[in-house]
Amino acid sequence: MNQPSTAAAPAAPEPAPDVPTGPPRVLLTGIAKRFGAVRAIRHGDMAVHAGRVHALVGENGAGKSTMIKILSGVEAADAGSISFEGRPVTIGSTGDAMALGIATVYQEPQLFAELTVAENIFTGREIRRGGRVAWAEQNTRVVELLELLGLPGHYATVPVGTLSIAEQQQVSIAKALAGEATVLILDEPSAILTDAEIDVLFTVVRRLTAAGVAVVYISHRLDELFRIADEVTVMRDGETIGTYPIGELSVRRVAELMVGGILSDERPQRQVPDGPPVLELDGLGRAGKFEDVHVAVRRGEIVALYGLVGSGVSEIAACVYGIDRATSGEMRLNGERIAPRSPEEAQARGIALLPANRKLEGMFGFQSIAFNISAGHLKLLSRFGTWVDRARERTVATDLIRRLAVRTPHERQPISAMSGGNAQKVVLARQLVERPEVLVLAEPTQGVDVGAKEEIHRIITELADSGTAVLVVTSDLPEALRIADRLQVVRGGTTTVEFGPDATQVDVLAAAAGAVDTPGGDAVDTTAAEQPDDGKRPAGSGATPEEVR
Amino acid sequence: MTTTAPPPPAAAPEREKSEGAGAKVLRALLTQRIALLAVLVVVVVVWFFVLDAGGYLTAAYDFDYMSASLINAVPLAMLGLAELLVILSGRGGIDLSVGAIVSLAGMVFGFAYGQWGWSLPAAILLTAAFGALCGALNGFLVAYVGFPALIATLATFYAFKSLAIVVNNQSPISTPPIQQLFSITSSVELPLFGQYVPDVPLGLFTFLLPTALVVWLLLARTTYGRRLYAVGTNDVAGRWSGIPVRGTRFKAYVYAGLISGLVAVVTVAQFASARPDAGVSGNGMALPAITIAVLGGVAITGGIGRVAGVVLATLLVVWLNAGILLAFVGNEGSQYQLLALGSVLIFAALLNGLTTRRYGGTR
Amino acid sequence: MTATLSPPSGASAPPTRRARVLPAPVTGQELVLVGVIAVIWTGLALATPAFLTGGSIRPLLVATAPIALVGVGMTIVIITGGIDVSVGGAIMVCSVLTAKQLVADTGLVPAVLLSVAVGGVLGLVNGVLIAYGRVHAIIITFGTANLFLFLGLQLFGSATVNGIPQTFGIFGRGAAGQTLGVPNAFLLTALITAAAWWYLRHTAGGRHFYAIGGDPHAARLAGVRVQRRVLLAYLVTGLLVGLASCFVIAQGTSTLDQSVGTGKELAVIAAVVIGGTSIMGGRGSVLGTFLGALLVQSVTSGVTQLGWRSQLSDLFVGIFIIVAVGTDLLRERTRRNR
């Protein structure tokens, strides 16, 4: 897998050899930006060319989103210059960016739930006829756009709030395409899309680049880059490390450039003690969400439930934890049938859950680390269940901070000031206060940088070693393969195939995709940094510029 | 090449390490609402002392006067604490109905103590319980049914206000037992060292201090306080960490109603009469109470706010108002109090906005 | 393409190009309001046969006008996700200033223009502070409510303004204030409501108010000039407050006392909320507000017609708010669960 690559990376964004001549569509030089005391970007250089897909990668906090915000006019740079088609320009507002044809699809759909799809797409650039909006004309355009993206045309007049998240994401893309885009910025568009939807997205992207649009593509799924990107700019600690043609890179090389070191990919060898299952889901189902789910987790075992977004995998976790109620089948804890009606009840039975959406479901923003850890365990950390035992709270917090290697000066630091990985460790720490018998982890490392990811994996393994039954619910296959003793694939709302520790990505992905054969299937074996070594050479297996045209 | 370098918003501090002493003080004042309020209280008091010494005031602004004016702080601070609780609970928490509860609970107190001949403790207990019941209606609508707090309490404001007026045919209750209650709001000499300090209104000790102490203990020391801050900060995360979100929010409204019931007793005593419009006449009591809470640094979005801030904000407003009364003749004084309250509130709010942008928030 | 999980409502109807480009012009809530008003009027007509006469209906319509008119502005403000609790104070300022001008023999047109201009200035103050101060509207308008009240009381000077001439009779209850038997104040309000309804529904500027209320950040990203729009919403409210103040003066006798405007902010908000506008922003209609104001006024006058204690009407207003918003919440919940 470690194929020879250009060891000496270009230090500055020199144009790659096969880049078209002429001035780049957009050139950012010497960009710097700070927010208060935080230097989000120290030095940013990037040249995006017409008709090319330019990937921008980096760990969380490396400065990718700030670069995008500067390019799309949301933030103004403190220093540096931007030129468009060789002309120097000032992008001081989103309006300025749009006037240049720079369109952005943000990570979270920026839509208005009460307005129709057509209105959403045209907000800010309505087609006006004699003072009023030309609704019918807009609608016709929107129906075309929707059909291009594979959505039914009649969605045009439906309020966006009634669509699913993935559909909303596609509406955002339609919104970006509605104008005359010269540069299209896609900020992690694939994070919430299913594989089939990603294929549609890539088809659209290729069509756009063929028409001469420059595309800036940001993604955490490094394997995708090899299917779509022509060049890759890597950012680390607020600086652009360099720009590389995709042919010179491999997934591993990109990951190493991002982290600035060499990655180990050893999967820890574990022995799972025999014994009866602690947690059993026996034909569990919830109407309209999932059905007939069979999972059993033993003491000290790590079982992964792997499923693509929309497969029902996240709903299963919510049911185990009492957020939702199951409508069929049964759940057993140590052989005893249980049906938790609330998280309180689940907790009382020794079930803990790390929620998937850290910001929304996990963090108490401006409260301290200690507050965040003790929330939900106040009975335990109090005298007579009424008075908070603050000394004990501090002890527990500092203890967990040490155990989980949370980087912070003290436990009174507000969690909102921490990086994604550190904040995730704090939320994880909350689940460990009462030493749960069963720990459910939903997307434990989503949006977490590579270093913290490894540490979280180590913590999970240690927990299992000490006897906790761990159920990892994830849509991150390399992660599932890396940490799980057994892996179950969820597809179409039900558990299907089970794999042991020696499963390969190809097998699992094929099982997860089921009968649907994804056109990008040939790239699956390049998925990410920590994949088991199967020796296939990744570079070149993705879309080369020639194929894209 | 054009440099895209407009002035960075809020001129980021260049030397964060070597911040000067002046910058440190400024930062402390802007980020620590308590410090700012304390400074403002001192400024106001010193300013009126100077005016007094210069003979610009119609009467003496001294410690006796300041102490006597504290009787106005009792209902204001208590309702400010009630608003603190509901605003803390998040999701747009607010209670517009506290004034109407004061009116209605005051009538209940008037009936119980003035007409039915209940003993004072029993009547107070009944009034507090009734206030809590009114608060429970708000809490039920907001926490369990899902009404926006502004709407639910607007509706109950109308309902309670209407009931208070209708229940005794629009007339106040001022029977002899009620009239004699005025004594509990009079000033008393403190024991032990009382002769060295001014007399203090009794209501301060019987109602305000116990309420403030209990609310402080509740918020800063109990598990309920923790849950309230948690729910106010992020109720979804609260649910996922096993906190009973609805119950926690519900109780905040109940406690606010309970405090309003106590304020009703104070108000009846102050007026020596149970007036059906006591809490809603003119500007009402809810608006000043919310103003006090916001001035005290309570974030309208929930999860941020402290008892000390509310108490200091009350002192600031009460002593400012007391001074203004002396600085103008007749009716003018009460009008200028409106000006002062409005300006101080807008100033504090804009300051909050600035602080958030510059230092990432206030505490 | 993957099968979409949940076909949204209305998905069953295959669209023809021109049909139903927008949601239905009249919402369910508005139809219900029309029904409720009809029921109340019928009930009152049965109880007191004198109700359905011009002498009884006309004052009701005149009394509805100022609330409904300010309600138009308030609806726009609430659609943007804001609120304005200072309109009571603003009404006081405008009406006392204008009334004093009338006493000084100012003509109809200059007086109305003055009132509207003063209202506009007050609205501008709110708008600037809210749009550019980045502070929640409820806090700013609580503050300006106190300032406006101060200003109004200062302008009053003595207790009341006396001897106001009948210059504004054209907006009043008398014969001078009618066109074809309908009060002018009501007609004007209906006209302005209709114009606002069309503007909010059919122009880009109007739709932007909804976008801002739905998600101000997304609106900014879409190129909507959020701050200007927000400023405009409060400015419009101020201008309408100015006009409504003229109606308020015209309704009264020849005196104006210091209670003018008191509690009007809550009455207007109640009308808006009963009309189905979401206090969270992003959804609402001025037509609903108009009906909401009419409903509130019908209840108020109904209570007096029946000889009940007039303060009882507030209880009904409270109950109507709970019922109106409660059904809306229920509908929303079933929609989400579907």
Q: Name the residue among A123, A135, A197 with its Cβ closest to that of C21.
A: A135
Query: Among candidates C277, C265, C283, which has minimal Cα distance to C321?
Result: C277
Residues 6+ apart with CB under 8 A from C38: none
Going across the sheet that includes A290-298, the strands are A290-298, A277-286, A328-333, A336-338
Q: Name the residue among C10, C15, C217 with its Cβ closest to that of A110.
A: C217
pLDDT value of residue C337: 55
Model pLDDT for residues C260-269, shown as the tens digit of each residue = 888 888 889 9
pLDDT value of residue A318: 87
Q: Among A444-448, A479-483, A541-545, C76-80, whose mean pLDDT is lowest?
A: A541-545
Residues 177-216 of B with CB under 8 A from C: none
Q: Does C47 touch chain B (CB under 8 A)?
A: no
**How distant is the Cα of B340 from the closest Cα of chain C, in angstroms?**
8
Is pLDDT of A302 > 50?
Answer: yes
Residues 93-112 of C with CB under 8 A from B: none
Residues of C in contact with A163 (CB under 8 A): 8
Across the range A151-159, mean pLDDT stands at: 84
Find the residue in A nearest to C24 (Cα). Answer: A157
Q: Does C8 touch chain A (CB under 8 A)?
A: yes
Is pLDDT of A515 > 70?
Answer: no
Alpha-carbon distance A125 to A460, whole Å? 49
Alpha-carbon distance A408 to A413, whole Å? 7
Is pLDDT of A244 > 60?
Answer: yes
Residues 6+ apart with CB under 8 A from C16: none
Angle between helix B307-327 and helix B73-88 axes, rounded to 10 deg: 140
Q: Which two tokens stand for residue A208?
A: 């756009």
A162–C9 C-beta distance less than 8 A: yes
Most confident residue range from A249-253, B286-290, C241-245: C241-245
Q: Which two tokens stand for residue A481?
A: 């393969």
Find the residue in B nearest to A341 (Cα). Answer: B242
φ, ψ of residue A533 in degrees (nearest 5):
-75, 110
Q: Which two tokens stand for residue B304?
A: 């941020």
Which residue's structure tokens are 């507090």?
B128
pLDDT value of residue A10: 41
Find the residue in C nearest to B357 (Cα). Answer: C134
Residues 289-328 of B with CB under 8 A from C: 290-291, 294, 300-301
pLDDT value of residue A261: 63
Top residue of C83, C92, C122, C135 to mutate, by most chain B CBs within 10 Å, is C135
Q: Name the residue among C20, C203, C282 with its Cβ closest to that of A133.
A: C203
SS3 category, A47:
strand
Q: Name the residue among B1, B223, B244 with its Cβ closest to that of A344.
A: B244
Positive/negative CA dihedral, B306, B309, B310, B311:
positive
Q: How confident is the model at residue A505 (pLDDT cuts 50, 70, 90)?
A: low
Find the residue in C nearest to B338 (Cα). Answer: C146
A283: left (phi over 0), alpha (psi -120 to 50) or beta: left
Amino acid present at A426: V
Contact (CB, 8 A) for C102 and C249? yes
Residues of B in contact with A375 (CB under 8 A): 226-227, 230, 237-238, 241, 243
pLDDT value of residue A479: 81
Residues 153-182 of B with CB under 8 A from C: 154-159, 161-163, 165-166, 169-170
pLDDT value of residue A495: 81
A375–B8 C-beta distance less than 8 A: no
C2–A197 C-beta distance less than 8 A: yes
Q: Does C181 touch chain A (CB under 8 A)?
A: no
Q: Which two tokens stand for residue B21?
A: 């002493």
Alpha-carbon distance B255 to A514, whole Å? 56
Model pLDDT for residues A110-122, shown as the tens digit of each residue = 888 888 898 888 8
pLDDT value of residue C293: 95
Alpha-carbon distance B191 to A307, whole Å? 73
pLDDT value of residue C334: 75
Residues of B in contact with A430 (CB under 8 A): 241
Residues of C in contact with A128 (CB under 8 A): 203-204
**How distant is the Cα of C240 from the closest Cα of chain A, in angstroms?**
23
Q: Name the residue among B155, B169, B282 with its Cβ closest to that of C321.
A: B155
DSSP B195-256: GGS--EEHHIIIIIHHHHHHHHHHHHHBHHHHHHHHHHH-HHHHHHTT--HHHHHHHHHHHH
Alpha-carbon distance B59 to B334, whole Å? 16
ipTM: 0.83
Q: How confident is the model at residue C49 (pLDDT cuts 50, 70, 90)?
A: confident
Going across the sheet that includes A438-442, the strands are A351-354, A438-442, A469-474, A302-306, A486-491, A494-499
Alpha-carbon distance C167 to C252, whole Å? 12
Q: What element of type H or E holds A128?
A: strand A128-129
pLDDT value of residue A534: 38
Contact (CB, 8 A) for C230 and C130? yes
Going across the sheet that includes A214-218, the strands are A87-89, A79-84, A26-35, A38-48, A239-245, A231-236, A53-58, A214-218, A183-187, A102-105
pLDDT value of residue C291: 95
Across the range C144-167, mean pLDDT stands at: 86
Contact (CB, 8 A) for A173 and A110? no
Query: Among candidates A359, A351, A301, B151, which has minimal Cα distance to C327?
Result: B151
Give how far the C-alpha of residue A92 lies from the chain's centroid of Cα atoms, to the nearest Å: 29
pLDDT value of residue A208: 85
Across the range A369-389, mean pLDDT stands at: 87
pLDDT value of residue B19: 60
Model pLDDT for residues A421-439, shown as the tens digit of each residue = 888 999 999 998 888 999 9
pLDDT value of residue C54: 76
3-state helix, strand and coil shares in percent for chain B, rounded to the nearest 5: 70, 0, 25
**How distant is the Cα of B33 from the closest Cα of chain A, in angstroms?**
16
A444 burial type by CB count under 10 A (0-12 exposed, 13-18 middle, 19+ buried): buried
Other Cβ atoms closer than 10 A to A16 = 20
Q: What is the mean pLDDT of each run of 10 residues along chain B (363 residues)?
A: 38 46 76 84 91 84 85 91 95 92 95 90 95 96 93 92 89 86 69 68 84 94 94 92 93 97 92 85 81 87 90 92 85 84 85 68 48
**How distant is the Cα of B19 from the closest Cα of chain A, in angstroms?**
12
B221–A37 C-beta distance less than 8 A: no
Alpha-carbon distance C170 to B142, whole Å? 45
Residues of B in contact with C144 (CB under 8 A): 342, 346
Find the residue in C nearest to A144 (Cα). Answer: C17
Q: Does C24 touch chain A (CB under 8 A)?
A: no
Contact (CB, 8 A) for B351 and B300? no
B1–A88 C-beta distance less than 8 A: yes
Q: Does C144 touch chain B (CB under 8 A)?
A: yes
Burial C25-34 (b: 16+ CB within 10 A, else e): eebebbebbe
Positive/negative CA dihedral, C115, C120, C126, C128:
negative
Q: Name the residue among C140, C270, C311 with its Cβ closest to that of B346.
A: C140
Residues of C in contact with A111 (CB under 8 A): 214-215, 218
Alpha-carbon distance A106 to A169, whole Å? 9
Contact (CB, 8 A) for A21 and A186? no
A364–B230 C-beta distance less than 8 A: yes
Alpha-carbon distance A58 to A220, whole Å? 8
Burial A97-125 (b: 16+ CB within 10 A, else e): bbebbbbbbbbebbbbbbbbbbbbbbbbb
Q: Which two tokens stand for residue A316?
A: 């299963």
Q: How confident is the model at residue A94 (pLDDT cuts 50, 70, 90)?
A: confident
Contact (CB, 8 A) for C112 and C327? no
Alpha-carbon distance A156 to A171, whole Å? 10
SS3 category, C72:
helix
Top residue of A115, A127, A148, A172 to mutate, by most chain C CBs within 10 Å, is A115
Top residue of A70, A96, A149, A157 to mutate, by most chain C CBs within 10 Å, is A157
Alpha-carbon distance B72 to B79, whole Å? 12
Q: Does B141 touch chain C (CB under 8 A)?
A: yes
C21–A139 C-beta distance less than 8 A: yes
B6–A92 C-beta distance less than 8 A: yes
Q: Does C323 touch chain B (CB under 8 A)?
A: no
Q: Does C204 touch chain A (CB under 8 A)?
A: yes
Residues 233-292 of B with CB under 8 A from C: 282-283, 287, 290-291
Contact (CB, 8 A) for B138 and B253? yes
pLDDT value of residue A263: 53
pLDDT value of residue A378: 86
Contact (CB, 8 A) for C265 and C86? yes
CB pairs under 8 A between B and C: 136
Amino acid present at B296: G
Q: How confident is the model at residue C112 (pLDDT cuts 50, 70, 90)?
A: very high
pLDDT value of residue B265: 92
φ, ψ of residue A449 in degrees (nearest 5):
-75, 165
Find the residue in C nearest to A69 (Cα). Answer: C221
Q: Does B143 touch chain C (CB under 8 A)?
A: no
pLDDT value of residue A439: 94
Residues of A in contact with C276 (CB under 8 A): none
Residues 6+ apart with CB under 8 A from C117: C242
